[in-house]
Structure 1
Amino acid sequence: MLIFVLQTLAEILAGGTSLTSTEQIDFSHPGNRREEGAGPTLNLYIFDIRESKQVQHSGRQVERKLTRALQPATVNWAPAWFDVSLLLTAWDRTALGEHHFISEALAVLLRHRTLEEEFLVPELRGYGNLNMTVALEPPIEIGSLWSALNVPLRSALYLTVTIPFEPQPTPVPLVWERIFNLRNQLSRDSDSLVLTRRVAIAGIVKSAVTNLPLVAAEVAVRGTDKSISTTKEGLFFFEDLHLGNYVLTLNHPGYLPQNVNALVDNQSNTFKEIFLTPE
């Protein structure tokens, strides 16, 4: 986006001043003066970029295509708006010549307090007119700015253009990360067991009588081919499930079968604790 801002301003300045082409507009450090005899030149230099306080856009749009391939969703973020500050200086054989080009540039830029969409390069279109301020106090103190540039103070214009930055779409998998901190209830002094899994449904199966984890309990997701046995800690995990409501079917020798509802969504932090009753 920064290149397109420079390109837009260069085309406006070249077309509205006595410069003959955009080749006479330079974008390098303002201390890097062109060779003698290169002719009059305007210099546009970006010196500051910060998020705009005037234009605030936030939010996201989720596009999810549910197919049998279980493709991830795509999150399209709203554009973030930034104030891009530029320094405009002129080079010529004489100081009067430089002042002349600065005056011409000021006159043409004042006619474009708002960069109308038809003057923008194609890559910046689609967001409406862009705000621009001319000759206001820069976001950095003037003396500090020139000192940081290591260039003697000279005549200049300070521009700020507010432009959008379009974040890249973010793929979101069907499963997300859950971190469970489980403590062995057989011993108060035992260390916690921390498990990190990318799961859609998770839980622990216990005996309703002893309150102890049940090992090798069969847990199945009704309507799918997914089935798993609980670990020695009584834990189970299921991955790669669409959003929606599910029914878990649980079986263990010596215990009554049980059905449990489970919800899979992007907001749920539910960890199922299931108790089976002995026969």
Structure 2
Amino acid sequence: MIHEVDEALRALLAGSGLEASGVEVVFDAPTREWAARRNAPTVCVFLYHIQEDASRRGSGAGEVHDAEGYVVARRTPPRWFELTYLVTAWASRPQDEHRLLSQVLGTLVSTDALPEDMLTGSLAELGLTVSLDTAGGGVDAPSASDVWSALDGELKPSLGVRVCAPLAAVARPAAPPVTEGLLVRTGGLGPEEEPSPGRRLRYEEVGDPGSQGFAGPRARPAVPARRRRGRQA
């Protein structure tokens, strides 16, 4: 799921004109050594914090159906995680960096969710909204200064971007649908008597059991008339 969010962010930023102007979008850690090797305008989107949103954790299990409508698996609800990115711009002059960062800011704040056509893999399969919060407050994550200190990097203007994305649960295969009725087999009364071959409790010549299965009500033949006991006059 994380790499799918990365690709969606890359597509969103590249579509804003950065790619056409020769600006590279990377997801590297902006350390001193990395910064010394940069020789072209770059936008760095560094993922530094992952935390589950426990308030959105669901329970129960959903059903996965095949093309014919049969239940083939059961899947627990997805779990939601907040991915926090540190977005910075790198160029030869601070003015150019500020211009790049302004372009990135305008692109990210114009949408509250990653576009559906940019979602791939499990995110596209789930069809859920992947929210996007740019430079918002109340983010329960390490501060930007703490991140720069941990990276031993030079403090630069940056944007805090938080993405809330679902992680698809593992689907567990379900048992195949029941197509035969219950088999009843009786044993002999004596020790040497063989058990009966058995009788299957199902309705003969019925291809479709209906919504209530083979145990549902069926049309039954008329009961034959009873013979009266005693002599006839």
What's the TM-score once normalised by structure 1's chain length? 0.52
Q: Distance in 1 between matches of 2:110 and 2:10?
A: 15
Tell me, what secondary structure is at the counterpart of 2:14? helix
Q: Distance in 2 between matches of 1:75 and 1:34?
A: 51
Tell me, what secondary structure is at the counterpart of 1:158? strand
Task: Provide the residue aligned with 2:129 in structure 1.
Answer: 129
Task: Provide the residue aligned with 2:44 in structure 1.
Answer: 43
Q: Distance in 2 between matches of 1:34 and 1:26?
A: 15
Structure 2 counterparts to residues 121-200 of structure 1, below 5 A = 121=120, 123-125=122-124, 126-137=126-137, 138=139, 139-170=141-172
Decide whether the 8 Å contact of 1:27 with 1:45 is kept in 2. yes
Decide whether the 8 Å contact of 1:42 with 1:89 is kept in 2. yes
Bigger relative contact order, structure 1 or 2 (CA pairs below 8 A, ≥6 apart): 2
Describe the superposition over 1:45-71 as per-residue Cα deviations: whole angstroms up to 9, x where unpaired.
1111111155333322478xxxxxxxx
Number of residue pairs the alignment of both structures matches? 168
Describe the superposition over 1:155-195 as per-residue Cα deviations: whole angstroms up to 9, x where unpaired.
1111111111112224699xxxxxxxxxxxxxxxxxxxxxx
- Structure 1 residues 129, 74: CA separation in 2 closer, same or farther (over 3 Å shift)? closer
Q: Over aligned residues, Cα RMSD in angstroms?
A: 3.0
What's the TM-score once normalised by structure 2's chain length? 0.62
Decide whether the 8 Å contact of 1:14 with 1:22 is kept in 2. no
- Residue 78 (str. 1) matches residue 77 (str. 2): yes
Tell me, what secondary structure is at the counterpart of 2:98? helix
Normalized per residue, the structure richer in helix is 2
- Residue 25 (str. 1) matches residue 25 (str. 2): yes
- Structure 1 residues 22, 44: CA separation in 2 closer, same or farther (over 3 Å shift)? farther
Q: Distance in 2 between matches of 1:152 and 1:23?
A: 21
Decide whether the 8 Å contact of 1:26 with 1:41 is kept in 2. yes
Describe the superposition over 1:114-173 as per-residue Cα deviations: whole angstroms up to 9, x where unpaired.
223234335422323211100124421332222222222211111111111112224699
Q: Distance in 2 between matches of 1:83 and 1:22?
A: 30
- Structure 1 residues 141, 23: CA separation in 2 closer, same or farther (over 3 Å shift)? closer
Normalized per residue, the structure richer in strand is 1
Identity %: 25
Decide whether the 8 Å contact of 1:17 with 1:105 is kept in 2. no
Q: CA deviation at 1:30?
A: 1.4
Decide whether the 8 Å contact of 1:46 with 1:85 is kept in 2. yes
Task: Provide the residue aligned with 2:191 in structure 1.
Answer: none
Task: Provide the residue aligned with 2:92 in structure 1.
Answer: 93
Q: Distance in 1 between matches of 2:146 and 2:35?
A: 21
Q: Which amino acid aligns with 1:157?
A: L
Q: Distance in 1 between matches of 2:106 and 2:29?
A: 24
Decide whether the 8 Å contact of 1:42 with 1:90 is kept in 2. yes
The answer for unaligned runs of 5 or more in structure 1 is 64-72, 174-221, 225-279
